[in-house]
Structure 1
Amino acid sequence: MNPQRRALLRAGSLAAALPFTAGAALALPLPAVPVGATPDVLATNQAYWQAVAAQYDHPADVIQLDNAFWGSMARPVLEHYEQQLAMVNRDNAWYARMRFPADFEAARAAAARALGVATDEIVLTRGATEALQVLIAGYNRLQPGDTVLYADIDYDNMITVTRWLQQRRGAEVVHIAVPEPFTHDNVIAAYADAMARHPKLKLMLLTHVNHRNGMVLPVAEISRLARERGIDVIVDTAHGFGQLDMTIPDLQADFAGINLHKWIGAPVGVGAAYIKRGRVADIDPWLGEKAGDDIRSRVHTGTVNFAAYLSLPKALELHAQIGVANKQARLRLLRNRWVEAARAIDGIEVLASSDPRLTSAIASFRLTGKSSVADSYALSKQLVQQHGIFAVPRDGLASGACVRVTPGIFTPESHLDKLVDALRKVART
């Protein structure tokens, strides 16, 4: 369990203040995207997004603005998942041994199509964390004394595995702090400077969309600079794929960890690891598995949640029906609605860029001058108890802790307006 989760559990009064209950609305048929509507125009179409929201159950007693932990399943996906769960439970080993292997490969192929890669370039995992642990720990091109780089924006567990390469491979592990306030050019410059300062740099961890302040890293540009120097990158796109209009080749990287239960809305416990064709040998086989060029030998998850993988194609189908460009535009509209208003509030420091190239659904804030972990937990607790708004504390940035806000595609604009109103009140007190 990571330190942030332990701290949240220790703050028992916060958890006690979250009486979640499911909504009771009936799902309406999802309308087709209007012909000719651009993503930015569709983002303002309230009737369309209300129809989308009707596909989801919502907590009744709190405004849920932590939609980055994992993505709620839409009701059609949930119903499909429950049906598959009942079938697997009934047919048990007869199904698992006789029919599941083919169904699993069909799900893998569906994921590959959505990711824009070949089926033999991905292996399904239980999430991005497992995928990235396999890629980082298994990367075998390091020699003792080679350098590995991570940044303060990277995910806690991935930082832990990266640091472990010092013990595992004898590498020198270094890190940088991404500049704040961040801009497109100064972020790229920070990585370029690190490459220049560390001539033995061989591997970098890049987080496509970081989970602390939501900055979209210019991964493709940084990857190209790294390739020119013979440096490999492993991309954490847990928060990128599914909410940004992109496919894996756009990252210009040979290795990536992917989450499919965040922005795709598959059941919890579904992700993927990507290894570009021809690079499989650079990742060790899983603990004694037979070596070879089959990517599936790099992961061994044991007995899996059969129904979760069986429901992945259904989640991808709904994702495609809405359209990732339309999702991105809607999430950006919701994010900008509260971010731009919050910038004008004295006493509130917003951690977010106005550059569309660097923006995702996620953004963060803190009270001016209040950047400790305790400050952020107290602020999150205050928002829940006094205003019925749940936004989660995050730590790890070089500049200090913050509170993260993440709308979902089903979030009404009124919820962001209530957040802004709450921030005005909090800043006054």
Structure 2
Amino acid sequence: MPAVLDLDQRAPAFREALATLQASRPAAPTADEGWWSQVHRYYDVAREPVNLENGFWGPMAEPVKAEYERLTTFINHHNAHWVRREWPQALEALRVRVARSLGCGHDELVLVRGASEAMQVLIQGYRGLAAGDTVLYCDLDYPAMRAAMAFLRERRGVNAVRLAIPEPATREAVLATYRQALHDHPRVRLVLLTHVSHSTGLVMPVRELTTMIEAAGADVVVDAAHSWGQMAFDAPDLGAPFAAFNLHKWVGAPLGCAVLYIRRDRLDAIEAPFAGLDFGADDIRSRLYGGTPNFAAWLTLPAALDWHETIGVAHKAARLRHLRDAWVGPARTLPGMQILTPDEPGMVAGITSFRLAGRTSTADNQALARALLEHHGVFTVQRSGPAAGDVVRVTPGLHTTDAEIDRLVVGLRQLLG
């Protein structure tokens, strides 16, 4: 008989940490350093240099990491004997658990290794295009997604149009940009929207845009790689039929955990290249054959989601916005400073980028990030994409302290003051 693995079972230390966190959590969302200092104790991260580049992926909390290690040992020990017999049932249970957290049906999602993998399936597999149609994307979309949309020109014979989001960005300016594009290109059939831009941190008004775009006769695919976990929403709240989500960025799962989402009434709109291999065309699992996953990483998802939900996404959102505002406010007063996200509610979360007036090249912004690291011990990263020029991205994490943000402010003042 294969070994029994109960996905709801947790190591005693994990259950104890979860109970401690739950008992101390304030009733209302808080950014208060007092309670968050308790949360910080569960994150074993290097404090030198200060890591303000948490957009790549998010570190696991120590209790979650211990679960991952326990499950890695389990898989390594029992190996194929367990996986061959028990994995299909375990995977189905994982889909159900993730769907509960994402607010959708488990038949509307499939686990994948990264949001980029899922987005490629959605963009390249979209059926509703004919030669001469138009697809829209923008400068703030992720580079691989921009490339996939542009490649539809060669693959499908469509007109691929890249928009530039105005700076400074506002809700109305974003809506007006897409409204004008839909007017100028009446044959738009597919639009890529990025919920939270990897380059600037701008939060797009996806629900409003989706309503506008669908009224014009087009479909929307949403890159939500950066939003789930640092903002409070369910998949249906986006209003879009197609989306991709990461769990290893802001949810705190191990690397290699993501979700492909297709609303059940739109499954036929995405090609099923593997239909008949394991699943029929009416099953979302036929849209991607990912090969052998990291079994232990995926088995850790229930623990990661439990941890994420115990902290509370509203608490996470409040804390990340507090950390962002703590450096953006002082930075706005510095000479030549350009902040790439507005303070407008709903248009920004934890990520925000900046550039200096006239310093728009990749080399300029790499040099600025390097100066912050070498002279002030603060790690940030240069990002390309925005039409107006490259930027330096600042991304705090759940483990970031107020004092670490203060070091960034001091560094910026000394560099620019």
2:45 is the alignment partner of 1:58: yes
Instruction: Give the corresponding residue for 1:317.
Output: 306
Rate the CA distance shift 1:296–1:267 in 2: closer, same or farther, 3 A.
Answer: same
The answer (yes or no) to whether the contact 2:200–2:393 under 8 Å persists in 1 is yes
2:206 is the alignment partner of 1:215: no
- What's the offset of the Cα at 1:99? 1.2
Counterparts of 1:121 and 1:287 in 2: how far apart (Å)? 17
Which residue of the other structure, out of 91, 101, 104, is the alignment partner of 1:117?
Answer: 104
The answer (yes or no) to whether the contact 1:392–1:403 under 8 Å persists in 2 is yes
The answer (yes or no) to whether the contact 1:43–1:333 under 8 Å persists in 2 is yes
Rate the CA distance shift 1:77–1:34 in 2: closer, same or farther, 3 A.
Answer: closer
- What's the offset of the Cα at 1:205? 0.1
- What's the offset of the Cα at 1:399? 0.9
2:56 is the alignment partner of 1:69: yes
RMSD: 1.5
- What's the offset of the Cα at 1:47? 2.4
- What's the offset of the Cα at 1:33? 6.1
Instruction: Give the corresponding residue for 1:298.
Output: 287
Which residue of the other structure, out of 232, 238, 242, is the alignment partner of 2:229?
Answer: 242
- What's the offset of the Cα at 1:369? 1.5
Instruction: Give the corresponding residue for 2:251.
Output: 264
2:297 is the alignment partner of 1:308: yes
Which residue of the other structure, out of 26, 43, 53, is the alignment partner of 2:31?
Answer: 43
2:369 is the alignment partner of 1:380: yes
The answer (yes or no) to whether the contact 1:234–1:253 under 8 Å persists in 2 is yes
Percent of aligned pairs with the same amino acid: 46
In structure 2, give the amino acid aligned to 1:420: V
Counterparts of 1:220 and 1:289 in 2: how far apart (Å)? 35
In structure 1, give the amino acid aligned to 2:352: A
2:401 is the alignment partner of 1:408: no
- What's the offset of the Cα at 1:60? 3.4
In structure 2, give the amino acid aligned to 1:32: Q
Instruction: Give the corresponding residue for 1:147.
Output: 134
- What's the offset of the Cα at 1:289? 4.9
The answer (yes or no) to whether the contact 1:28–1:54 under 8 Å persists in 2 is no
Rate the CA distance shift 1:92–1:210 in 2: closer, same or farther, 3 A.
Answer: same
Which residue of the other structure, out of 321, 336, 341, is the alignment partner of 2:330?
Answer: 341
- What's the offset of the Cα at 1:276? 0.4
Structure 1 runs of 4+ with >6 Å offset: none
- What's the offset of the Cα at 1:367? 2.2
Q: CA offsets per residue over residues 119-158 of structure 1, 9 Å max, x none?
A: 0000110010001000000001111111100000000001
- What's the offset of the Cα at 1:84? 0.7
Which residue of the other structure, out of 316, 319, 333, is the alignment partner of 1:330?
Answer: 319
Instruction: Give the corresponding residue for 1:365.
Output: 354
Instruction: Give the corresponding residue for 1:14.
Output: none
In structure 2, give the amino acid aligned to 1:91: H
Instruction: Give the corresponding residue for 2:115.
Output: 128
Instruction: Give the corresponding residue for 2:80.
Output: 93
Which residue of the other structure, out of 353, 358, 378, is the alignment partner of 1:389?
Answer: 378
Which residue of the other structure, out of 136, 145, 151, is the alignment partner of 1:158?
Answer: 145
Rate the CA distance shift 1:204–1:279 in 2: closer, same or farther, 3 A.
Answer: same
Aligned residues: 399
In structure 2, give the amino acid aligned to 1:323: G
Q: CA offsets per residue over residues 47-100 of structure 1, 9 Å max, x none?
A: 210111111111132000001100101111110111111111111110111112
Counterparts of 1:168 and 1:110 in 2: how far apart (Å)? 37
Q: CA offsets per residue over residues 201-222 of structure 1, 9 Å max, x none?
A: 0000000000111010000000
The answer (yes or no) to whether the contact 1:149–1:201 under 8 Å persists in 2 is yes
Counterparts of 1:222 and 1:272 in 2: how far apart (Å)? 22
Any idea what SS the aligned residue of 2:264 has?
Answer: coil
Which residue of the other structure, out of 231, 243, 254, is the alignment partner of 2:218?
Answer: 231
Any idea what SS the aligned residue of 1:154 has?
Answer: coil
Relative to the length of structure 2, the TM-score reads 0.93
2:268 is the alignment partner of 1:281: yes
- What's the offset of the Cα at 1:246? 0.7
Counterparts of 1:346 and 1:166 in 2: how far apart (Å)? 43
- What's the offset of the Cα at 1:174? 0.7
Relative to the length of structure 1, the TM-score reads 0.91
Counterparts of 1:320 and 1:110 in 2: how far apart (Å)? 12
- What's the offset of the Cα at 1:35? 7.5
Any idea what SS the aligned residue of 2:388 has?
Answer: coil
Rate the CA distance shift 1:387–1:195 in 2: closer, same or farther, 3 A.
Answer: same
The answer (yes or no) to whether the contact 2:274–2:288 under 8 Å persists in 1 is no
Instruction: Give the corresponding residue for 1:4.
Output: none
Instruction: Give the corresponding residue for 2:13.
Output: none
- What's the offset of the Cα at 1:228? 1.0
